Amino acid sequence: MMLLRISFLIGLIGFCLQSKAQDSKGAFSSAMHAAVNVCQIDGDGTSGFNKFGYTLGSVIAQNLGKGWQYETGIAFSERGSRYPFNPDLPGKPSFHYRYQTIDLPLFLNKTIDSRWLAGVGIRTTYLLRARETEGIHLHVEEDSRKTGVLMCFKLHYKTGESLSYRLEYQYGLVSVATASAGSLFFPTGAYHNCISAGIHYTLSSKSK
């Protein structure tokens, strides 16, 4: 698994650097981003953003004029949900759901001023691995949907020529569980609910 992640990161860097050679209308930019995710799954019978995950990815954006741009890319993410053992509620089972996905984001962004940028979009996800490491749900991957869609809202705060802080809220539009599994483990549906905070580093830009 570690080798896969290293290979993926190397591929991301190459993907970004290649964008320097693109010729198209408008101004292009490429960037890398890394974030920490605090997550829960609505419908898991508990509350609180108790699961920590991460996102590593690359993006390419094109300026559409008047402060607008579209952005797409690829990322590797871990989301999920966790309920640790609580000695005050010994009858409630603990669990730790871990979902690792490839994300394909598509955003429409608007520059607010010289520091701030806001965006709205979706992340289409493809499940690489799903597991539950602290409870009794043994076949999580078989019980999980392979593809998903997250609705996303984000803010960037620019601190320099290349570096920005990035805050993003993500919510699932489809359940993470298949219909048969949902009836047992997630009777009201199961939807990713995630806050992602990290950095966004611009590698290159190219004008028309």
Per-residue pLDDT, averaged over 23-52, amounts to: 83
> What is the share, in percent, of the chain residues with pLDDT greater than 70?
75
pLDDT at 10: 43
CA distance 86 to 141: 26
pLDDT at 168: 98
Give the least confident one: 23-32, 58-67, 109-118.
Answer: 23-32
Task: Give me the phi and psi of 49, to 5 degrees please.
Answer: -85, 75
pLDDT at 20: 44
Domain ranges in the chain are 27-206
Per-residue pLDDT, averaged over 6-32, amounts to: 59
pTM of the model: 0.83
Cα(first)–Cα(last) distance of the chain, in Å?
40
Strand partners, 130: 99
- Residue 130, Cα to own-chain centre: how many angstroms? 15
Per-residue pLDDT, averaged over 88-93, amounts to: 66
Residue with tokens 């759901």: 97
- Over residues 173-206, the pLDDT tens digits come to 998 888 665 545 666 678 999 999 999 999 866 5
pLDDT at 155: 98
Among 60, 21, 38, 35, which residue's Cα sits nearest to residue 155?
Answer: 35
pLDDT at 26: 76
Q: What are the b/e assignments for 156-165, b being 16+ CB within 10 Å?
A: bebeeeeebe
pLDDT at 79: 96
> What is the share, in percent, of the chain residues with pLDDT greater than 90?
52
The helix (run of H) or strand (run of E) holding residue 37 is strand 28-42
Best CATH choice for the domain 27-206 from the list 2.40.160.20, 2.40.50.140, 2.30.110.10, 3.30.110.30? 2.40.160.20
CA distance 15 to 30: 9
pLDDT at 23: 40
Say which residue, 169 or 142, is predicted with more confidence. 169
Residue with tokens 């949907």: 145
Task: Give me the phi and psi of 14, to 5 degrees please.
Answer: -65, -40
pLDDT at 203: 86
Arithmetic mean of pLDDT over the chain = 83
Per-residue pLDDT band at 58 (split at 50, 70, 90): very high
